[in-house]
Amino acid sequence: MDLNLEIFRPREYLNSIYLIDFDKLKSKGIRAILMDIDETLLPREMLDISPVLFSFIAELREKGFNICLVSNSIHPERIDYVSKTLKLPSITLAAKPFPFAFEKALKLLGAKKSEAVVIGDQLFMDILGGNLTGIYTILVKPMSAERFWLRQLMRTGEKYVLHKLGLEG
């Protein structure tokens, strides 16, 4: 059986959120950012929000982007803290890759699918969910190494798929 892995292909794959060309995205008509938190915006174990991250979010706002945090985290109090501190709306317990949370985020931001980007570190959650919903997707490498065995297993599967897609050697 030949499994079609194209549903997992991100439109872009970068080392960090800080390497994304947001001006290019804006020129494509994108104005809404659906952003994962853990390992995309902040390392999973970190709660402190750096001045660099505050500046990054401020710069995105100045460029005219609306941002919604979308997280599968089972720690809604952490997500609420990050959301309130950055003054961004958030969706917790999002059940990614299912499209519900992405569609809810679009409604919150008043944006169409064609005006949005999903940015995350997980191929099987963020990218698959964004692709299934019909939203432009950007995969970034996780900010720190996984310690939990189940996520380590998932990362191994992601590496296999990325290799098969020709995105990682």
Query: In tens digits, what is the pLDDT along the chain, a chain of 169 residues?
Result: 356 899 999 999 999 999 999 999 999 999 999 999 999 999 887 778 999 999 999 999 999 999 999 999 888 888 999 999 999 999 999 999 999 999 999 999 999 999 999 999 999 999 999 999 999 999 999 987 777 767 788 888 899 999 999 898 6
- Looking at domain 6-164, what is its CATH homologous superfamily? HAD superfamily/HAD-like (3.40.50.1000)
Give CA–CA dist 66/5, Å, rounded.
31
Give CA–CA dist 166/64, Å, rounded.
34
Q: What are the residues facing 68 on neighbouring strands?
A: 34
| Residue-level pLDDT at 36 | 96
The residue written with tokens 């798929």 in the block is 161
Helix (H, G, I), strand (E, B) or coil at 34: strand
Cα angle value 156/134/53 (rounded, 5°) = 65
- Global confidence as pTM: 0.93
Contact 138, 34 (CB under 8 A): no
